[in-house]
Amino acid sequence: MNKLQLILFALLITAAGLYGQSADEIVNRADEAFKGNRIYSTSTMTVYLSDEAQPVQKIEGYTMEKDGKSYSLSIYVEPRRMKGTANLMIEDDLWVRFSSTGRVRKLSSSAKKNSAGGSDFSYADMGEGGSGLAEKYTSRLIGEEKVEGDLCHVIELTASGSDAPYEKMVVYITKDTYRYMKIDYYESGANIKSMSFYDYRTVNGKDYPFAYTMFNHTKPSRTEVVIEEFEVDSPKVQDRMFTTRYLETIR
């Protein structure tokens, strides 16, 4: 082994000692909390415009992983004007049922970045969590930082393809429990919004946040979500629900 090889080897050993785990390993472990075969949830979503609360939205959520594909269905139950609105995502394909007309429409890939229900969450935010955050990104460990008193790994996720919802995300994951504490979202080099996670509870051996808030950095707006029900391996999640035919039956 020559001198250059020895130097490179020493650097690798030093990096391993400093970080212990790769960025991919850390993110994949944190993502495990969001993965489940059949997850059912009900939640309330409140949009605040200049700190003024808008009508509370109640949503039923269904997610499923099957044959290597991710499926997600969100159905709005309240308020009355939105009852029956539904978003279906199968991998990168998105369909929306509009309560005003009852029609089902397939949206373009670019539409996944649009606001869902007038909130600070995009369709992609609401529908892509089941497959894990890092699936479409290249990860890089960039440091450590305390968030709400917890020491976190700071990891940069850079889009590895055109189908990624954001060009970059920076995630903050607790070093001891592998919980997401915060995610910063970037477009055109700017931090456009940030999501913070709260009220972690253990369900079926997994830690899951029962509250999270998306803060918009381009306008005076934020959206708060509170989970009311959360079931893993739920019999309420059925294959037939992840079809356009099922969307047409929603009332």
Evaluated on CA atoms 109, 112, 114, 116, the torsion sign reads: positive
pLDDT of 75 higher than 90: yes
For residue 59, being part of any structural domain is answered with yes
pLDDT of 153 higher than 60: yes
Count of alpha carbons within 13 angstroms of residue 139, beta-carbon side: 21
Q: pLDDT band at 130, cuts 50/70/90?
A: low
Average pLDDT value for residue range 166-194: 96
pLDDT at residue number 11: 39
Peptide bond into 79 cis (omega under 30): yes
pLDDT of 216 higher than 70: yes
For residue 8, being part of any structural domain is answered with no
For residue 134, being part of any structural domain is answered with yes
Measured between alpha carbons, how far apart are the two ends of the chain, in Å? Answer: 71
For residue 96, being part of any structural domain is answered with yes
For residue 4, being part of any structural domain is answered with no
For residue 66, how many other CB atoms are within 10 A of its CB?
Answer: 11
Summarised one tens digit per residue, pLDDT across range 88-125 is 999 889 999 999 899 999 998 778 889 998 999 999 88
Please state, in angstroms and rounded to a whole number, the distance separating the CA atoms of residues 249 and 190.
41
Boundaries of domain holding 207: 21-247
For residue 6, being part of any structural domain is answered with no
Structure tokens at 130: 């089941």
Q: What is the residue whose two structure tokens read 């785990």?
A: 21
Evaluated on CA atoms 242, 245, 248, 250, the torsion sign reads: negative
Q: What is the CATH number of the domain that holds 94?
A: 2.50.20.10
How many domains does the chain contain in total?
1
Q: pLDDT band at 179, cuts 50/70/90?
A: very high
For residue 2, being part of any structural domain is answered with no
Summarised one tens digit per residue, pLDDT across range 11-67 is 333 444 444 689 999 999 998 888 777 999 999 999 999 999 999 999 999 999 888
Q: What's the CA dihedral at 44, 49, 53, 58 to 10 degrees? A: -20
For residue 173, being part of any structural domain is answered with yes
